[in-house]
Amino acid sequence: MSDKRFLAIDLGAASGRIFVGSWNGTQFGLSELHRFANSPAKILGHWHWDVLGLWSEIMNGLSRYRREYGPSIAGIGVDGWGIDFALLDSSGCLLGNPYGYRDPRTDGMAAAVFAEISEQDLFSETGNQSSQMNTLFQLFSMVRGKNIQLEVAHTMLTIPDLFTYWLCAEKAVEYTSATTTEMLRKGRMEWSLDLLRRLRIPSRILPRLATPGSVLAPLRAEIAAEAGLSPSPTVFAVAAHDTASAVAAIPDMDVESAFISSGTWSLIGVETSAPVTTQEAFQLGFTNEGGVNGSVLLLRMVAGLWMLQECMRRWHLQGHAYTWQGLIQMTNGAEPFRSLINPEAAEFLAPVNMLLAICSFCEATNQPKPGTLAEFVRCCIESLSLCYREIIESLDQLAGRRLSVIRVVGGGSQNQLLCQLTADATGRMVVAGPVEAAALGNIMMQAVAAGDVADASEGRRIITASVQRAIFKPRTGDAWDEAYSRFRALPAKSMDLR
């Protein structure tokens, strides 16, 4: 049989990718079609996403598909980062560029929200850990500031749902993306209207919730005509939150496995059948987000490769264009565990200069400041590996068993040094890949919606047979235990607002 093709639009906080996914009846294939940069712009002291620029790149990708593959395509799905959102007026027009989650407008909002409803009650109601980055806190900052956009808004859409709406005219928030907002009732596919009422957030802006793996609508006729696609393909609701999409595509995921979705952010967790909202889970900082097939992702989020990305950006401004591979090679021979930082510290959330932020943290904790590129890279990767160890050990505690395998997907799975150091730090086998797990999960859920695959469980089995992975076995040594003791003595994390 000839391959059936789907288009996956995968939007990350650092870059956007468009992939062509093929389905031949037994295996999925994946080919990158178009890649483009994505980063927020700072304007008048506020961070905004350039969603119109991203839309232009999506249209470029659709036109490129027509040139390279012809006019026929079975479906389109969009996944992206969580938390951030767009507001539309009553005619469906965008009310300004969406704010980025690192925008300072939510500074101080934690105390203001907790004066209305306790953090523990928020966790019990939504299953989400509170963070000033969350949609709930962003909207509350607009309520407090009497923001005119919120006053006239008719609809709120998360970022991936905004692009889905522009593609097919369907206003809906997909379930997995909605679970990142801290505005859903835990374990239920419904908005927490009482919570919103207490915080004076207008519930009128919330559209219906869409189930991952469902049919939305055909591509808008004018877009299909402009891109040269015929007949007009179906737009599907996939797991719109990129983490949920990536976890759906992890091969061999089972009760003995933890996952790390590794990119700008690292999300470390396990799959469960129901939300875990015990006092222990709350105190350990774990949040519950939606997965596919009714699963729940019990996870913690930390700044992942963001720190090194910001270091690279600073070096680029200084006139040095380093590649990831080049930086990793520079670490050969560098002294291990010379300087350690806490990736969860608020100092690293949105510093003006990441290099200075790292040096300041080391100086404040009586450690030598990194001086060479190799020392900065070692500091970031070793610290991240130790942070993973702490979180995995907490997951052991919550699960009541030792998780034996860590399955790493996303861009960070290509970083062999990070994967090996994660195995060494945790003393567990690391299985890395697929790299483009979010896109594969996107394609797989389109195939489910189209009726080509029975469900996400079958889709995961197919993906397991379709991709290759790399294995990293832990190397023994006492140095990691000593470094871990030093890491745990660093100042307590502060990004979770406690």
- Residue 487, domain CATH: 3.30.420.40
Q: How confident is the model at residue 478 (pLDDT cuts 50, 70, 90)?
A: confident
Q: 229, 73 in Cβ contact below 8 A?
A: yes
Share of the chain above pLDDT 70, in %: 98
DSSP-assigned states of every residue in 350-419: S-S-HHHHHHHHHHHTT-PPP-SHHHHHHHHHHHHHHHHHHHHHHHHHHHTS---EEEEESGGGG-HHHH
Same domain (yes/no): 290, 366: yes
For the record, the structure tokens of 397 come out as: 């505690």
Cβ neighbours of residue 84 closer than 8 Å, sequence gap 6 or more: 49, 98, 99, 100, 101, 135, 138, 158, 159
State pLDDT tens for residues 296-335: 999 999 988 989 999 999 999 999 888 888 888 888 888 9
Q: Based on the structure, what is the number of domains in the chain?
A: 2
Could you tell me which residues come within 8 angstroms of residue 29 by beta carbon, excluding any fewer than 6 positions away?
3, 21, 22, 23, 466
pLDDT digits (tens, 9 = 90+) for 116-148: 999 999 999 999 999 999 999 999 999 999 999
Give CA–CA dist 216/172, Å, rounded: 9
Comparing 223-227, 239-243, 438-442, 475-479, the range with the smallest average pLDDT is 475-479
Average pLDDT value for the chain: 94
Say whether both 185 and 260 belong to one domain. Answer: no
| Catalytic residue from among 242, 396, 424, 455 | 242
Instruction: Judge whether residue 497 has pLDDT over 90.
Output: no
Task: Tell whether the model's pLDDT for residue 11 goes beyond 80.
Answer: yes
Residue 124 sits in the same domain as residue 225: yes
Q: Is 440 within a domain?
A: no
Kind of pairing between the strands at 429-432 and 405-409: parallel
Domain with 383, as residue range(s), is 252-433+468-498
Give residue 4's identity as a one-letter amino acid code: K
Q: Would 455 be classed as within a structural domain?
A: no
Task: Tell whether the model's pLDDT for residue 1 goes beyond 70.
Answer: no
Predicted confidence (pLDDT) at residue 498 exceeds the cutoff of 50: no
Whether residue 254 lies in the annotated active site: no
Tokens representing 497? 């607002």
Give the residue-averaged pLDDT of 63-84: 97
Shared domain for 144 and 259, answered yes or no, is no
Classify residue 462: in a domain, yes or no. no
- Within this chain, do residues 107 and 221 fall inside the same structural domain, yes or no? yes
Q: What tokens does 169 get?
A: 């005219």
Instruction: From 378, 388, 466, select the one nearest 423 (Cα to Cα).
Output: 388
Give the pLDDT of residue 496: 40
CB distance 183 to 195 below 8 Å: yes
489, two tokens: 């003595």
